[in-house]
Amino acid sequence: MTATTTDAPPAASVTKQDTAVLLLCGGLSHPPLATALNAPLLTLPQTPNRNVLGCWIEAFTHAGLDIGRCRLLTNTDGSPGTMLSPDIETLRDTGPYRGPAGVVRDAVDHLGAQGCCLIIESSRMLSEPTALAGFVDACRKRKGVITVATNPDGSFSGMIAADTEAIRLIPGIGFIDIKEQWLPAASREGFEVRPHALDAPSYSIRTSKSYLEALRRLGWFDQSSGTLVIGRGPQSIFGEPYGGSLIAESAEIAPDAVVSCSAVADGAVVESGAIVVRSIVGPRARIKKNELIIDTVVQTSDDLPKHQS
């Protein structure tokens, strides 16, 4: 990928209504954690009262983006997961072999979009909702530039912004990758590819290890975070050695259950005497009485959970 840093004067900014947001959840195989969870990663908790999708929506609001112009791009089979939010329409791939860039091109055609388009990998978790606003403002001022958001350490953040003219360079058929095919082709056609450093990191959550590490970096497993769930009491004998957890507000934890360094999603239930350590409990999953769950992903379910270590 060729990056240039010329200081050409910015073009006139586009309006809020000109910016489309595409959450990329299709065009490629599901991340390992989504497969184990049997649900989109956007359903995972990021705070007690918001899942990852809810936190992205909060970031869109901070950035002045129109939620009505946001679309979730998902695979043809629609799995794992279905409609995530009544505010965001889901668009399925036109075919099983379009690739991530291909589904972006198809979505732009479907929307008839013009102006700036924000592409976001759904396997990412933005650590600060306000961090998106600066990136969006910079992109709105640039014409003929593809802007790649980087984390403060220089790594790729999972976000790209481009004018629809650049996106329509993507062929209408076949498998097309973003970084390996589309960006080099756009550069050859005269579009600048320019980095923009975010004020706060966007964490990858593709695997259970990376997701739990992101929660640790956000402080959810610290004793000072107030999220220690060991019978929901700070005086528990397990408090100091085990650490806290991120528990969705709608989850039910038995008073004598132990939940340590884990994430428990919306509607999940942890029954009496159960112990959950370094694990992820999916939406609506149920941990039975006295069950021991360590280093495990508990699949989302409307019935009985399935466990994958």
Return the amino acid letter for 281.
V
Predicted pLDDT of residue 184: 93
- Quick: pLDDT tens for 4-15: 333 333 333 334
303 contacts: CB under 8 Å, gap ≥ 6:
none
Mean pLDDT of the 53-74 span: 89
Q: What is the DSSP letter of 102?
A: H
Instruction: Provide the residue ranges of all domains of the chain, joining segments of one domain with +.
Output: 16-204, 219-308
The partner residues of 161 in beta bridges, in order of sequence, read 118, 147
| Dist CA 171 CA 187 (whole Å) | 15
CATH placement of domain 16-204:
3.90.550.10
pLDDT digits (tens, 9 = 90+) for 135-185: 998 887 777 789 999 999 999 999 999 998 999 999 988 888 898 999 999
Is it the case that residue 285 has pLDDT exceeding 90? yes
Residue 282: pLDDT above 70?
Answer: yes
DSSP structure string for 210-242: HHHHHHHHTTTTSGGGS--EETT-TT-TTHHHH
Q: How many CB atoms lie within 10 A of CB 96?
A: 11
Mean pLDDT on 13-24: 68
Residue 137's pLDDT is: 86
At residue 185, φ and ψ (nearest 5 deg) are -65, -40
Over the chain, what is the mean pLDDT? 82
Peptide bond into 80 cis (omega under 30): yes
Using only C-alpha atoms, the chain has a radius of gyration, in whole angstroms, of: 21
106-145 confidence digits (pLDDT tens): 888 888 878 889 999 999 999 998 999 989 988 877 777 8
Which backbone phi and psi does 257 adopt, to 5 degrees? -80, 155
Q: Is pLDDT of 242 > 70?
A: no
Pair 268, 252: CB distance under 8 Å: yes
d(CA 76, CA 64): 31
Pair 204, 52: CB distance under 8 Å: no
pTM above 0.85, yes or no: no
